[in-house]
Chain A
Amino acid sequence: MKKQPATVSAAPQAATAITASDFQFIPREEKAADTVVRPSVSYWADVFRRIRQDKVAMISLGIIVIISLMAIFAPFFCPYDYATNNLSAINQPPSAEHWFGTDQLGRDLWARVWVGARVSLLIGLGGAIAPQIVGIFLGGISGYFGGWVDMFIMRVIDVGLCIPELVYVTLMMLLMGSGPMAIIATIAMVGWMGSARFIRGRILQFKNREFVLAAKAQGASPMRQIFRYILPNILGQQVVTITAAIPGAIFMEAYLSFIGLGIKSPMTSWGQLSQIGSSVFRTSPYQLWIPGALISVTILAFYLFGNSLRDALDPHLRD
């Protein structure tokens, strides 16, 4: 018989601390009192703790807050109106008089940039939320009720997703004209399908779980089951999805306005400012750099914050 090499036959010296009195059985109840219980922290408190510890997230959030505050308040404290022409002061570079300079019609760019920020951020937020609302509604119905309703909505989405984005954009622009609402509607038109599919999947996953069935047994209406019992469980992911969709919506506005299908002068947005800026880029480059930098920084901040938020909500996804 071979000897197990690591087996020690006698108790080692460490056992000196153990005395005879230690060889008494401990009843289960007493033992339970001894065990250290970790402080229980609610899920959302834990998420906030993690977010606060994340430097990138806090800096991004800071940038977002500053830009939002500027968008809200800066135009009120600016002596110039964003739409008033001043042909005696055109294409002036940034100065003490005009902090961001003036455009080719002599309009103050400081005022225009922050009014434009309102439009761009509004579209960013609206464009991120609108498709979710439609998607949650239709996806919820589809997933909860199933049957032919589900069949119909899913087939519509199958085909709808095959239609290129550009076609939706064209048609919605033609139908609704240009303006923030038209752009949000366009984004919603393109985006609802993906989110409806996702929500449907989650509803199917949750609708037969015990806590939903219990609510159903107590007579909760389908809408109540969806909104009160199922949606809170996917709220975290929806927050992440919405945050992640904001940069896309801001991009869309900038893109459309830039090629001339979006916001039109005298109303303004970052995309529209960039378009005008790029037309005078050779002589007055600041007219492109300023709105361009703001778009880039804002998108970057939202993007990084979105990533951190996703990690905080689900640490398993962290790289």
Chain B
Amino acid sequence: MSEHLLEVRDLAVSFDTYAGEVQAVRGISFYLDKGETLSIVGESGCGKSVSIQTIMKLLPSPPSRIKSGSILYRGEELVTKTDKEMESYRGKEFSMVFQDSMTSLNPTMRVGRQLCEGIIKHQKVSREKAKEIAIDMLRQVGLPNPEKTYMRYPHSLSGGMQQRVMIAIAIACNPQILFADEPTTALDVTMQAQILDLMNGLKKRLGTAIILITHDLGVVAQMADRISVMYAGKIVESGTADEIFYNPRHPYTWGLLGSMPSVEQSSRAAKSELLSIPGTPPDLFAPPKGCAFAARCNYCMGACLKEDAPEFKADDGHMVRCWLMDERAPKVTPPVGKYAAVTGSAPAQIPAKEEG
């Protein structure tokens, strides 16, 4: 049953705020195997970050609260673990790279000390040994002059260098799973590519599994083995990278893919227009009764407003939460994907699947 490295089942997380309960995550399930990269894609506020921060139990509680579900790491239940028990998992088994490296590093502490803290804690080594390891880590993430960087304060580093330091902190204790929360969003494009290369390299060398959170499908195409698309606190479609890019089945996924510019697209005069998804995501204070995407969907049916769609299976492992998959529904030709005239990123960029 639990041969997966990490398995999340039916996880629901809410925030109790002054104005009421915000249902940030409303029952999501996914799994991760050793050495693979799962990408969770969605607009900001859809619950991606909340999901993974809940796995590491980083969210203060209150206001956050796990309503239901289970998180199994190597068959062990994490939901019931106390904060104290989680300490030996954080940094050692799981670690995280945050979006904004500027605010994610302590501004008043030297880079080296921030790196050493985790190493001393988990590897039980002396200060001197930790320093050696730390400098080696800084070298591994490609920082020039690691000895000097060790003594610097975060504000004196560029955004790209800060993010490398964050990655060094994250991989310092050789974690099994690296959570990357929009690791490249705050960086400029050339820096983005470098950081992604770095992460891919580390993954290959260390065999670390990665959960990558992003709204940038270009990033996903470079990194992901499997993809889960999240909308308003639920996973609406999940499958392998190939399935999502070439055979997307959920109208929201179509919208996401359609809003991504591509070389082929712009070369076609007739189809040079980028699609956009009209409207905004629903209010999670009071999620709609039916499908959360219905209000913005071009293929909205009566059923969608009445009740949220169940999970339909498009293929082995390809899950879609949409009434269009019901046999009674009218057949629709997707505007994107393999049936459509245009495709997303070049297929060559999608890494071959490693799982068996």
Complex Cα–Cα for A3 and B19 (A)? 40
Decide yes or no whether B339 CB sits under 8 A from chain A.
no
**Closest residue on chain B to residue A13 by CB atoms:** B310
What are 11 of the A-B contact pairs (CB < 8 Å)? A4-B31, A5-B7, A6-B30, A11-B312, A18-B326, A20-B328, A23-B328, A23-B330, A25-B330, A26-B301, A28-B298
A315→B19 contact, CB < 8 A: yes
A14→B33 contact, CB < 8 A: no
**Closest residue on chain B to residue A14 by CB atoms:** B307
Indicate whether A24 sits within 8 Å of B302 (C-beta atoms), given known contacts A3-B316, A14-B310: yes
B293-315 residues at the A interface, CB under 8 angstroms: 294-295, 298-303, 305-307, 310-313
B269-319 residues at the A interface, CB under 8 angstroms: 294-295, 298-303, 305-307, 310-313, 316-317, 319
B317→A6 contact, CB < 8 A: no
Decide yes or no whether A7 CB sits under 8 A from chain B.
yes
Decide yes or no whether B329 CB sits under 8 A from chain A.
yes
**Closest residue on chain A to residue B11 by CB atoms:** A6
Decide yes or no whether B113 CB sits under 8 A from chain A.
no
Decide yes or no whether A166 CB sits under 8 A from chain B.
no
B317→A2 contact, CB < 8 A: yes
B238→A4 contact, CB < 8 A: yes
A3→B317 contact, CB < 8 A: yes
Decide yes or no whether B10 CB sits under 8 A from chain A.
yes
Question: Chain B residues in contact with chain A, CB under 8 A?
Answer: 3-4, 7, 9-10, 18-19, 29-31, 33, 238, 294-295, 298-303, 305-307, 310-313, 316-317, 319, 323, 326, 328-330, 355-356
Decide yes or no whether A210 CB sits under 8 A from chain B.
no
A18→B299 contact, CB < 8 A: no
Identify the 8 closest CB pairs spanning chains A and B, nearest first. Answer: A6-B29, A22-B302, A22-B303, A9-B313, A7-B319, A18-B303, A23-B329, A23-B328
Which of A12, A23, A31, A318 counts the most chain B CB atoms within 10 A? A23
Indicate whether A1 sits within 8 Å of B317 (C-beta atoms), given known contacts A11-B326, A23-B323, A23-B328: yes
Q: Within the complex, which residue of A4, A12, A23 is in contact with B319, where a contact is CB–CB below 8 Å?
A: A4
Indicate whether A7 sits within 8 Å of B313 (C-beta atoms), given known contacts A21-B302, A34-B305: yes
Which of A1, A15, A18 counts the most chain B CB atoms within 10 A? A18
Indicate whether A25 sits within 8 Å of B300 (C-beta atoms), given known contacts A2-B33, A6-B29, A7-B311: yes
Closest beta carbon of chain B to A53's beta carbon, Å: 11
Closest beta carbon of chain B to A3's beta carbon, Å: 7
Complex Cα–Cα for A28 and B295 (A)? 8
Decide yes or no whether A35 CB sits under 8 A from chain B.
yes
Closest beta carbon of chain A to B171's beta carbon, Å: 26
Please indicate the chain B residues that have their CB under 8 angstroms from the CB of A25 in the complex. Answer: 299-301, 330
Closest beta carbon of chain A to B124's beta carbon, Å: 35
Please indicate the chain B residues that have their CB under 8 angstroms from the CB of A15 in the complex. Answer: 307, 310, 326
Q: Within the complex, which residue of A1, A7, A22, A28 is in contact with B306, where a contact is CB–CB below 8 Å?
A: A22
Complex Cα–Cα for A15 and B294 (A)? 17
Please indicate the chain B residues that have their CB under 8 angstroms from the CB of A12 in the complex. Answer: 310
**Closest residue on chain A to residue B33 by CB atoms:** A2
Complex Cα–Cα for A211 and B329 (A)? 48
**Closest residue on chain B to residue A318 by CB atoms:** B18
A23→B9 contact, CB < 8 A: no
**Closest residue on chain A to residue B278 by CB atoms:** A28
Please indicate the chain B residues that have their CB under 8 angstroms from the CB of A22 in the complex. Answer: 301-303, 306
Which of B299, B305, B311, B355 counts the most chain A CB atoms within 10 A? B311
Please indicate the chain A residues that have their CB under 8 angstroms from the CB of B312 in the complex. Answer: 9, 11
A2-52 residues at the B interface, CB under 8 angstroms: 2-9, 11-12, 14-15, 17-18, 20-26, 28, 31, 34-35
**Closest residue on chain A to residue B319 by CB atoms:** A7
Closest beta carbon of chain A to B61's beta carbon, Å: 17
Closest beta carbon of chain A to B74's beta carbon, Å: 15
Known contacts A6-B311, A7-B311; 18 additional CB pairs below 8 A are A1-B317, A1-B356, A2-B33, A2-B317, A2-B355, A4-B317, A5-B7, A5-B9, A7-B317, A17-B306, A17-B307, A18-B303, A21-B302, A23-B301, A23-B330, A24-B301, A25-B330, A26-B302
Closest beta carbon of chain B to A307's beta carbon, Å: 15
Complex Cα–Cα for A1 and B306 (A)? 35
Please indicate the chain A residues that have their CB under 8 angstroms from the CB of B4 in the complex. Answer: 2
Complex Cα–Cα for A18 and B306 (A)? 8
Complex Cα–Cα for A6 and B69 (A)? 11
**Closest residue on chain B to residue A7 by CB atoms:** B319
**Closest residue on chain A to residue B7 by CB atoms:** A5
Closest beta carbon of chain B to A44's beta carbon, Å: 19
**Closest residue on chain A to residue B316 by CB atoms:** A1
B316→A5 contact, CB < 8 A: no
Complex Cα–Cα for A95 and B299 (A)? 83
Complex Cα–Cα for A3 and B307 (A)? 26
